[in-house]
């Protein structure tokens, strides 16, 4: 860690974030959540799952996605505070311990070397302060729980130097050797087991100003980005009762929180219900950086533990109001701010955003009766919801039938109207005959002989219940 941030500036940043100094620096709070692993022995690294517990809870208390903190700790020193001889790990440039704290005069240097709690706390405080820097870009509308929104704070943890530019200025190619790129690659590998790709920034070389031959900090010219890729909130924030979906195929539902326990196989998009707080792998020596959630299937036929790497919070399908073949808009309800997509087959026919109360109304072209429309939304993380399918109803009345001449000798009324409709022949309010048009629209309805001068009305009704205007014939 190469960043130089004074303690006073750090604390100011934390206060701006809405956290008090006591919240951010209470080193006794989060370690107590890992007491089941026992005391840490002097000059010894704790077990891997003990370290997983410590890093996770320090991150949660600092309001940082634990996936980010664990990836930083992996990149910095592989989750080690001490070397094989029990000596504090100190890098050539002075980086100390697990979080490789460098040039931080506001911290006790000896405690950074020998106190793992103190070293972790310093790391999360510094990373938190980087999030508050006003000279670093952010993702528009994204909150701290969004992993991708920590891209630039992670860069700054190591230093906003030309070597960490997201793009090579000379070619515009992605700089996969940048510190933050390495950290996020580790995050995908360890917290998501390579099954998830984080959202990518639409970078341009014009976004960064720097001299590649100088060690001066990068000047950021673009301070806000809009990502079109799906973004990801920390999987450590799920609560009891939350519904989640399985993100991969053939995912294992374990009987215990361990990759060595027996399992059932779950299909992609299986819906599960969180049954309690997450736990760490039963094997203290396990290298797994994810956590395990106790879950059950919605039908309650299966229960067990699933890796946080393979689940995401379930989105509900939008509710959609009925739409008919005269409508030029479609309305309904979805999460506030969600982007609505209305599809006719593969064609997008309407789009809008839900308001602060979740209501939406989008203009659409008039659709034929019987057409099936699929309505879905993208939430604030660009995750696509399940779709609601709605069938366009028929609200268009048939045209008035054409009725042939009726004489005082006729025992049938004939004519044409919309195909496959019911035909009613009336005198006044009395129905004197019923029938149906054929596939060609012709009808012939038996009726009693009517006196000359009688007014006979004919109306048809389609399968949707719509009635045509009356056609009236005077018996000749």
User: How far separated are the first and last CA of the chain, in Å rounded?
Assistant: 103
Q: What is the pLDDT of residue 281?
A: 96
φ, ψ dihedrals at 364, nearest 5°: -140, 155
Give me the mean pLDDT over the 288-313 stretch: 97
Q: What is the structure's pLDDT at 104?
A: 86
Phi, psi of 14 (to 5 degrees): -65, -40
Mean per-residue pLDDT of the chain: 93
Q: What is the mean pLDDT of residues 440-469?
A: 97
Residue 22: pLDDT band by 50, 70, 90 thresholds?
very low
> Which residue segments constitute the domains of the chain, with CATH numbers given?
7-225 (1.10.530), 238-313 (2.30.30.40), 319-391 (2.60.40.10), 402-474 (2.60.40.10)
Higher-pLDDT residue of 372, 22: 372
> Is the per-residue pLDDT at 433 higher than 80?
yes
| Per-residue pLDDT at 5 | 40
| Confidence (pLDDT) at 103 | 85
Residue 249: its pLDDT value, please? 93
Whether 475 contacts 405, CB under 8 Å:
no
**Segment 165-187, tens digit of pLDDT:** 999 999 999 999 999 999 999 99
Band (pLDDT 50/70/90 cuts) for residue 303 is very high
Q: Is the pLDDT of residue 2 over 70?
A: no
Average pLDDT for 108-125: 96
Q: What distance in Å separates the CA atoms of residue 446 and residue 402, rounded to the nearest whole number?
A: 16
pLDDT digits (tens, 9 = 90+) for 226-275: 999 999 999 999 999 999 999 999 999 999 999 999 999 999 999 999 99
* pLDDT over 70 (residue 160): yes
Confidence of residue 105 (pLDDT cuts 50, 70, 90): confident
Residue 470 has pLDDT above 70, yes or no: yes
Q: What is the average pLDDT across 281-288?
A: 95
Rounded mean pLDDT of 469-473? 97
Per cent of the chain over pLDDT 90 is: 92
Q: What is the mean pLDDT of residues 425-437?
A: 97
pLDDT at residue 1 in the model? 58
HEC string for the chain: CCCCCCHHHHHHHHHHCCCCHHHHHCCCCHHHHHHHHCCCCCCCCCCHHHHHHHHHHHHHHCCCCHHHHHHHHHHHHCCCCECCCCCECECCCCCECCCCECCCCCCCHHHHHHCHHHHHHHHHHHHHHHHCCCCCCEECCCCCCEHHHHHHHHHHHHCCCHHHCCECCCCCCECCCCHHHHHHHHHHHHCCCCCCCCCCCCCCHHHEECCCCCCCCCEECCCEECCCCCCCECHHHCCCCCEEEECCCCEEEECCCCCCCCEEEECCCCEEEECCCCECCCCCCCCCCCCEEEEEECCCCCEEEEEHHHEEECCCCCEECCCECCCCEEEEECCCCCEEEEEECCEEEEEEECCCCCEEEEECCCCCCCCEEEEEEECCCCCECCCEEEECECCCCCCCCEECCCCCCCCEEEEECCCCCEEEEEECCEEEEEEECCCCCEEEEECCCCCCCCEEEEEEECCCCCECCCEEEECC
For the segment 367-387, the average pLDDT, to the nearest whole number, is 97
pLDDT at 28: 58
How big is the CA angle at 82 (ends 77 and 84), to the nearest 5 degrees?
Answer: 105
Cα–Cα distance between 358 and 34 in angstroms, integer? Answer: 40
pLDDT, tens digit (0-9, with 9 covering 90-100), for 41-96: 999 999 999 999 999 999 999 999 999 999 999 999 999 999 999 999 999 989 99
């Amino acid at each position: 860690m190469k960043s130089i941030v004074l303690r006073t500036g750090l604390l100011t940043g934390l206060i701006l974030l809405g956290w008090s100094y006591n919240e951010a620096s209470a080193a006794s709070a989060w370690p107590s959540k890992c007491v089941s692993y026992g005391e840490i022995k002097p000059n010894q690294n704790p077990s891997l799952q003990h370290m997983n517990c410590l890093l996770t809870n320090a991150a949660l208390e600092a309001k940082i996605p634990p996936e980010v903190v664990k990836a930083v700790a992996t990149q910095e020193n592989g989750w080690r505070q001490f070397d094989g001889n029990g000596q504090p790990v100190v890098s050539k440039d002075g980086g100390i311990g697990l979080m490789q704290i460098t040039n931080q005069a506001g911290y006790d240097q000896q405690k950074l070397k020998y106190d793992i709690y103190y070293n972790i706390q310093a790391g999360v405080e510094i990373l938190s302060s980087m999030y508050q820097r006003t000279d670093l870009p952010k993702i528009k509308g994204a909150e701290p729980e969004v992993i991708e929104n920590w891209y630039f704070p992670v860069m700054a943890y190591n230093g906003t130097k030309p070597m960490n530019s997201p793009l090579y200025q000379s070619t515009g190619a992605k700089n996969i050797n940048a510190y933050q790129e390495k950290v996020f690659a580790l995050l995908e590998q360890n917290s998501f087991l390579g099954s998830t790709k984080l959202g990518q920034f639409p970078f341009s070389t014009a976004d960064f100003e720097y001299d590649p031959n100088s060690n001066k900090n990068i000047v950021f010219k673009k301070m806000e980005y809009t990502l079109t890729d799906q973004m990801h909130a920390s999987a450590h924030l799920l609560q009891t009762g939350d519904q989640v979906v399985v993100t991969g195929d053939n995912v294992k539902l374990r009987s215990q929180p361990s990759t060595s326990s027996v399992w059932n196989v779950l299909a992609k998009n299986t819906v599960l219900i969180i049954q309690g707080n997450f736990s760490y792998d039963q094997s203290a020596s396990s290298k797994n950086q994810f956590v395990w959630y106790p879950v059950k299937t919605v039908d309650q036929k299966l229960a067990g533990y699933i890796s946080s790497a393979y689940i995401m919070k379930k989105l509900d399908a939008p509710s959609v109001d009925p739409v008919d073949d005269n409508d030029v808009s479609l309305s309904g309800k979805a999460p506030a701010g969600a982007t609505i997509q209305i599809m006719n087959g593969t064609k997008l026919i309407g789009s809008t955003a839900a308001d602060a109360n979740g209501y939406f109304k989008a203009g659409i072209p008039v659709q034929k009766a019987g057409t099936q429309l699929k309505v879905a939304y993208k939430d604030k993380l660009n995750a696509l919801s399940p779709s609601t399918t709605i069938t366009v109803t028929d609200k268009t009345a048939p045209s008035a039938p054409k009725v042939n001449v009726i004489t005082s000798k006729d025992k049938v009324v004939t004519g044409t109207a919309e195909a496959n409709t019911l035909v009613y022949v009336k005198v006044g309010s009395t129905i004197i005959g019923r029938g149906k048009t054929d596939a060609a629209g012709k009808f012939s309805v038996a009726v009693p002989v009517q006196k000359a001068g009688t007014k006979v009305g004919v109306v048809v009704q389609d399968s949707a219940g719509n009635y045509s205007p009356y056609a009236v014939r005077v018996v000749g």
